[in-house]
Structure 1
Amino acid sequence: MSTTGNAVPRTGPFESLGLSPGQAALYAAALRLHRATPAELAEAVDRPAADVLDALDSLVRLGAVDRRREEVVARHPAEVIGRLVAERLDRMARESRCLDEMITAAGRLARHYDTGRDWRGGGLPVERVSGAGALYEGVIGHALQAPPADLVMAVPDHRTVVRFANTHSAQWIRAAADGVVRLRAIVPHAALSSPAVREMYERFTAAGANLRALDEVPSWFLALGDGTAWLPVQWGVPLPDNAYNCCVVHAPAAAGALRALFGELWARAAPISPHSGARQVLRLAAQGLSDDAVARRLGVSVRTVRARFAEAMAELGAQSRFHAGVEAARRGWL
Structure 2
Amino acid sequence: MSKPASGNSSEQALALYQELRSRGACNFGELTAELGMTDQDAQSCWVELLQLGLIAEPGPEDEPTTIAVVDPEIALLRMLAYEQQDMRARQQRAEERYTAIEDLAGRYMRGGGAANAEIEVELLTSPRRISQALEDLSDTVKHEIASMHPGALPTGEFLHEALERDGRLIASGAHVRAIYQQRFATVPALADFFARQTELGVEVRLAPVVPLNMILSDRRFALLPIDPERLETGALLARGPALVRSYQALYDYCWHTSAVFGRTEEQRRGGHPLTEQQHAAIRMLGAGMKDERIARSLGISLRTLSRVLSEVMQELGTTSRFEAGVRAAKLGWLD
- TM > 0.5 between the two? no
TM (normalized to structure 2)? 0.40
TM-score (norm 1): 0.40
